[in-house]
Amino acid sequence: MRVIAIDGPAGSGKSTVARRVADALGLAYLDTGAMYRSVAFAALHAGIDPADADAVADLAGRVDIDVATRVTVDGVDATDAIRGPEVTTAVSTVAANPRVRAEMVKRQQAWAAAHDGGVAEGRDIGTVVFPNADLKVYLTASEDERARRRAQELGQPAYDQVAADIARRDKVDSTRAASPMMVADDALVIDTTGRTIDEIVQEVLSKL
């Protein structure tokens, strides 16, 4: 089983790089962030307060999530909805829930076993989910660059709001008690600021 772990904060380029690396290697690709967003979506859809830790954790244990080209949550296409403002506001709270994380990590490891490996991206892939990954990569970029990318991706001109949201998520994700976002000791750290996707993908592939 061959596993490539790609971690990093929002706007660092990890989703695009992970997809390209997966394609180049002929491996499956998993966006673990979409899984946490799916739980947040399911909670909001069910009228559950994202801060109600036990109720959200119970929901995470039974919700059906399929993260592929499209994202379905209990049979509902939530591909666009999980990227919306409501879910984006709620997801850090949901992702900080230890029981939710335990459930998602179990599902992520099962996914890799079912696909004989793959390229997984998120915030705790190399440190918690796949500590024995064949290659661990941590992507980063300047705050300005990350905010600019995310604003462009969302089609929103409100750069200041996007920058504030990213800063908030960085703080929550890096200080949470359960699986905080951090750089694995043996990770390849790449600053993507001002670099092309092709350059970054080639650097990652050169380490395999």
d(CA 120, CA 154): 22
Give the pLDDT score at 154: 75
- pLDDT interval class at 157 (50, 70, 90): low
In this predicted model, what pLDDT tens digit does every residue of 78-122 receive, in sequence order? 999 999 989 999 999 999 999 999 999 999 999 999 999 999 999
Question: What is the DSSP code (8-state) at residue 12?
Answer: S
Average pLDDT over residues 153-173: 82
Domain co-membership, 145 together with 199: yes
Last residue of a domain, one of 70, 91, 114: 114
pTM of this prediction exceeds 0.95: no
Number of domain units in the chain: 2
Domain co-membership, 191 together with 135: yes
Domain co-membership, 104 together with 127: no
In this predicted model, what pLDDT tens digit does every residue of 36-77 receive, in sequence order? 999 999 999 999 999 999 999 999 999 999 999 999 999 999
d(CA 46, CA 152): 31
In this predicted model, what pLDDT tens digit does every residue of 124-141 receive, in sequence order? 999 999 999 999 999 999
- pLDDT interval class at 156 (50, 70, 90): low
Domain co-membership, 198 together with 126: yes
Domain co-membership, 124 together with 200: yes
Give the pLDDT score at 164: 87
Share the mean pLDDT of the chain: 95
d(CA 162, CA 129): 28
Q: What is the CATH number of the domain that holds 156?
A: 3.40.50.300
Last residue of a domain, one of 114, 134, 158: 114
Last residue of a domain, one of 93, 114, 135: 114
Domain co-membership, 103 together with 34: yes
Domain co-membership, 164 together with 105: no
Question: What contacts 113, CB < 8 A, 6 or more positions away?
Answer: 1
Question: What contacts 26, CB < 8 A, 6 or more positions away?
Answer: none
Q: Which domain holds residue 51?
A: 29-114
